A and B are shown apart, each in its own frame.
Chain A
Amino acid sequence: MYLGHYILLATICLALSCSLQSCQQTNDELPYLGQTIPTEDGVKHHTVGQFKHVNQDSQWVDNQKMSQYIYVADFFFTSCPSICPKVTREMLKIHDALQLDTMVKLVSFTIDPKRDDIHRLKLYADNLGVNQKKWWFLTGDKDATLELANSFFVAALEDPDAPGGFDHSGKIVLVDREGHVRSFSEGTDPTTTPGLIKDIQKLSASYQSKN
């Protein structure tokens, strides 16, 4: 009778530890941010908008090109007198931490393409002293870029009363190869950057294990 109790207890413990372990494994995967819609085939996760921009080396960069990489994105402008230098500094930390991971790119979309032409973006990148094969500064149509920012969950709008003429948030957003938003940090809060770097490494490792 007592032996039966012990066996039952041991079985329950074993079942619990197994279920906790499987739970742990599920939680290891980064979440899909944004709205997930059920479909006939399964579910459809939120995807960032379509874009076709030009980088500081006059090369076209679009969604198809970015599908070869996982990337972090921010929205900025070079003459921004408010939060941009802080956000760029955090992007620089990410750039330095993931220097050797060729799967990871960084992209910075300018929301002020009128002033930020290719020449100015090139000068900006030169002055930052970054690896320009890893970090692309992109310019394109202003309205399309402002709309694109929304799909990255970044607020960006033209506002004559805002410093520099644009109001925008400083989120740094992690996007996977399928265009889904998987993580983000607040570029104005340096304490959130190490967490994002860990998430990028985790996402990169998940693709490498598939190959």
Chain B
Amino acid sequence: MILLSFILRKFHYWLFGISVVAVSCHESPYMQGKRLYEYHCQSCHMEDGQGLSRMIPSLATSSLLGKPEFCCVIILGKKDTIKNNVSYLAQEMPAFQSFTTTELTNLVNYMQHRWQSDFAETSIREMEEMVSFCKQKTSEQPAIPEN
């Protein structure tokens, strides 16, 4: 009885503690990446990153996630059909050239954190290297303007 009254009296502390644990368990550490994903990627690649059949590729199961080629597609877009190891795709992927290196880093880290179990965080310096690698390819493949 005494214990119960003690728990009830300190109830707001308990509630606060539970909330902190709940928030820390569910919130992604990459909040900017999450917001960028929701605004720019989610309408096609879906909330769960699974895409749509053969038409919009799955990001959640992509073997390229986090690799330089993956970042290049974000920056340069894809106008031609994309080989997906299964079939071809017809939807255009717009180029997101306006993303800063920090935004790209947060976006890619958000996706990797969410969908890769053996995730290793990409640093801004690593992303800068990937961006310069991609920009070398710009001359080879013209980018699609962002809608």
Contact = CB atoms under 8 A, between A and B. Distances in A.
Interface in B56-110: 56, 87-90, 92, 94
Nearest to A190: B47
Contacts of A124: 55, 90
Interface in A117-139: 123-124, 127-129
A127 B43 contact: no
Contacts of B52: 85, 88-89, 92, 128
B42 to A, nearest CB: 9
B43 A82 contact: yes
A83 interface: yes
B90 A85 contact: no
B5 interface: no
A98 B92 CA distance: 30
Contacts of A79: 92
Interface string B27-58: 00000000000000001101000001111100
Chain A binding surface SS class: helix
Given A124-B55, A129-B54, A163-B147, A83 B87 contact: no
Interface string A40-78: 000000000000000000000000000000000000000
A116 to B, nearest CB: 12
Contacts of A129: 53-54, 87
Contacts of B53: 92, 127-129
Given A92-B53, A129-B54, A85 B87 contact: no
Given A86-B46, A127-B87, A164-B147, 13 more contacts: A79-B92, A81-B44, A81-B147, A82-B43, A85-B55, A88-B52, A123-B90, A127-B54, A127-B89, A128-B55, A129-B53, A129-B87, A163-B147
Interface of A: 79, 81-83, 85-86, 88-89, 92, 123-124, 127-129, 163-164
18 contacts: A81-B44, A82-B43, A83-B43, A85-B43, A85-B52, A85-B56, A88-B52, A89-B46, A89-B52, A92-B52, A123-B90, A127-B53, A127-B54, A127-B55, A127-B87, A128-B52, A128-B53, A163-B147
